[in-house]
């Protein structure tokens, strides 16, 4: 018996250290994902990198139904890999879909007010818990 993953609306990656090609294989058939939840830095970077590798014939984003990205426990400091990946993801999303991602939720992410201000220019709504880290 197989699970009907094609109907999955929320996907959460937590402490999953798969290679980018494994993420791409897992996400490639999940076009109905509306909510993507990523916890911890390594999962975050690998998952976002995998999304860059996925292409569609119509050049739409590989997760065309995505509305909400939730990022937990990541270092989102300007000029660091996680922030750079997030910025690239959001810019790519807007370019491919013609509109900004609707919602970005940041929970227990080390970041700055300036970084949040920049993200607000890229997303419809940023919901940040105010955590600044160390």
115: left (phi over 0), alpha (psi -120 to 50) or beta: alpha
Give the Cα separation of 109 and 53 in Å (integer). Answer: 25
- What per-residue confidence (pLDDT) applies to 1? 47
- What per-residue confidence (pLDDT) applies to 44? 67
Q: Helix 41-53 and helix 20-27: axis angle, to 10°?
A: 70
Chain centroid, CA 67 distance in Å: 10
- The SS3 of residue 93 is helix
The tokens 């937990």 sit on which residue? 72
pTM: 0.83
Question: Domains in the chain, please, with CATH?
Answer: 7-128 (3.80.10.10)
- What per-residue confidence (pLDDT) applies to 31? 78
Tens-place pLDDT, residues 109-128: 889 999 999 999 999 999 99
Phi, psi at 59, each rounded to 5°: 65, 15
Distances from the Cα of 116 to the Cαs of 13, 65, 86, 95, in angstroms? 23, 24, 12, 20
* DSSP strands (E only) in the chain: 10-14, 35-39, 68-72, 75-76, 101-107, 110-111, 123-128
pLDDT in tens, the chain (134 residues): 456 667 788 888 776 666 666 666 677 677 788 998 888 766 666 677 677 666 555 666 678 888 999 998 888 888 888 888 889 888 888 888 888 999 999 999 889 999 999 999 999 999 999 877 55
């Amino acid at each position: 018996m197989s699970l009907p993953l094609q109907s999955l609306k929320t996907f959460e990656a937590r402490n999953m250290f798969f290679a980018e090609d494994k993420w791409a294989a897992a996400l490639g058939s999940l076009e109905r994902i509306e909510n993507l939840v990523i916890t911890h830095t390594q999962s975050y970077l690998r998952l976002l990198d995998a999304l860059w590798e996925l292409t569609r014939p119509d050049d739409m984003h590989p997760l065309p139904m995505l509305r909400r990205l939730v990022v937990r426990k990541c270092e989102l400091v300007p000029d660091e890999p996680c922030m750079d990946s997030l910025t690239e993801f959001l810019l790519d999303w807007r370019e491919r879909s013609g509109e900004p991602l609707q919602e970005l939720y940041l929970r227990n992410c080390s970041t700055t007010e300036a970084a949040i201000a920049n993200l607000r220019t890229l997303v419809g709504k940023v919901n940040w818990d105010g955590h600044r880290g160390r």
